């Protein structure tokens, strides 16, 4: 993810991710087994929703615009949920901050690998909203509904080590060793590929995440967003400056 103009799910990034998902889905004749999602900006995986964009839509009470944006977010991550309709293992490599929708994006993958210095969390409650693009769906399947709700309503930003202990991060890597951890995981899965593939199918059969489920939740998110008050929007505006503070010159 290149994060241009900001390291968040702005329309440009959403379009890129959707194009890539379509490409993988259509290239069925190619032997692609793994998809790894990472960031080109040091210290940042993804800051989540484009707060500046949907703050403007909220101010205009543009329900159709908000729903269109939310659907684009779901479409961008859902490919990983369904393995792009192929025998592909999706991996998130988190080497920096993954907040809000950034954490949702990472959790949408089959495997979440994070370096120890990475931080993740769902701060939406700070501006009186909730993460509506899959957080509850993914968390409840990993740690249970009660813990998922508590996690979301806390708004706490956690270290990767804390999330590993909770069972949210699957593989914990030392700082700077994330890529090696990805290749180590791939070698391990390939060694026991039949077992890993079967367990992936079992997980999908027992706890499937449907597009309809994600859409129904994001519709609740849209209705809740339209009820935000001026003080909530002011808090959101302060967080916009955080999304914009990393210079894109750091991107590689």
Measure the CA–CA gap between 163 and 157, rounded to whole angstroms. Answer: 10
Check pLDDT > 50 for residue 149: yes
Q: Taking the C-alpha atoms of 55, 22, 39 and 93 in order, what is their torsion angle to the nearest 10 degrees?
A: 110
CA distance 115 to 164: 10
CA angle 206, 182, 14 (to 5 degrees): 70
* Site of tokens 């027992």: 206
* C-alpha 71, offset from chain centre: 14
Q: Which residue has the higher pLDDT, 37 or 249?
A: 37
Separation between Cα atoms, residue 192 and residue 36, nearest integer Å:
19
Q: What is the mean pLDDT of residues 120-125?
A: 95
Task: Give whole-number Cα distances, 30 to 16, 70, 80, 192, 198, in Å.
Answer: 20, 31, 17, 22, 21
Q: State the average pLDDT over residues 91-111.
A: 95
177 pLDDT exceeds 70?
Answer: yes
What is the pLDDT at residue 124? 93
CB distance 182 to 36 below 8 Å: yes
Instruction: Say which residues have a Cβ less than 8 Å from residue 152's Cβ, sequence separation at least 6.
Output: 122, 124, 125, 130, 131, 135, 136, 139
Output the average pLDDT for the chain: 89
* Cβ proximity of 76 and 39 under 8 Å: no
pLDDT at residue 7, rounded to an integer: 85
User: Torsion over CA of 36, 37, 39 and 43, rounded to 10 degrees?
Assistant: -90
Position 28 confidence tier, pLDDT thresholds 50, 70, 90: low
First to last CA, the chain: 11
What pLDDT is stored for residue 249 in this prediction?
A: 36
What's the rounded mean pLDDT across residues 172-179? 96
137-170 b/e (C-beta count within 10 Å ≥ 16 → b):
bbbbbbbeeeebeebbeeeeebbbeebbeeebbb
Superfamily of domain 11-26+33-241: 2-enoyl-CoA Hydratase; Chain A, domain 1 (3.90.226.10)
Is residue 133 helix, strand or coil? Answer: coil
Q: What is the pLDDT of residue 80?
A: 81
pLDDT at 29 over 80: no
Judge whether residue 90 has pLDDT over 80.
yes
Strand ranges of the sheet holding 111-115, from the earlier edge strand across to the other edge: 34-37, 89-94, 111-115, 171-173
pLDDT, greater one: 181 or 252: 181
Res 83: pLDDT: 81
> What are the extents of the domains in the chain?
11-26+33-241
pLDDT reading at 165 higher than 90: yes
* Of 126, 149, 129, 157, residue with least CA distance to 223: 129
Lowest mean pLDDT across 1-10, 42-51, 160-169, 238-247: 238-247
**How far apart are the C-alpha atoms of 7 and 102, rounded to whole Å?**
9
């Amino acid at each position: 993810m290149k994060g241009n103009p900001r390291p968040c799910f702005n329309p440009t990034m959403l379009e890129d991710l959707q194009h890539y998902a379509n490409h993988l889905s259509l290239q069925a004749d190619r032997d692609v087994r793994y998809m790894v999602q990472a960031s080109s900006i040091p210290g940042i995986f993804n800051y989540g929703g484009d707060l500046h964009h949907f703050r403007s839509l909220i101010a205009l009470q543009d329900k159709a615009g908000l729903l269109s944006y939310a659907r684009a977010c779901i479409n961008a991550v859902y490919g990983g949920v369904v393995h792009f309709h192929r025998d592909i293992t999706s991996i998130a490599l988190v080497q920096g901050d993954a907040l809000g929708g950034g954490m949702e994006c990472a959790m949408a993958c089959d495997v979440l690998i994070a370096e120890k210095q990475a931080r993740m969390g769902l701060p939406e409650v700070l501006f009186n909203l909730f993460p509506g693009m899959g957080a509850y769906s993914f968390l409840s399947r990993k740690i249970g509904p009660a813990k998922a709700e508590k996690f979301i309503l806390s708004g706490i930003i956690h270290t990767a080590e804390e999330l590993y202990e909770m069972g949210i991060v699957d593989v914990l890597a030392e700082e700077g060793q994330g890529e090696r951890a990805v290749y180590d995981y791939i070698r391990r899965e390939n060694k026991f590929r039949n077992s890993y593939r079967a367990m992936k199918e079992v997980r999908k059969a027992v706890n499937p995440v449907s597009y309809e489920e994600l859409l129904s939740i994001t519709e609740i998110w849209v209705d809740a967003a339209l009820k935000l008050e001026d003080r909530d929007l002011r808090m959101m505006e302060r967080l916009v400056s955080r999304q914009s503070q990393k210079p894109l010159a750091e991107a590689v």
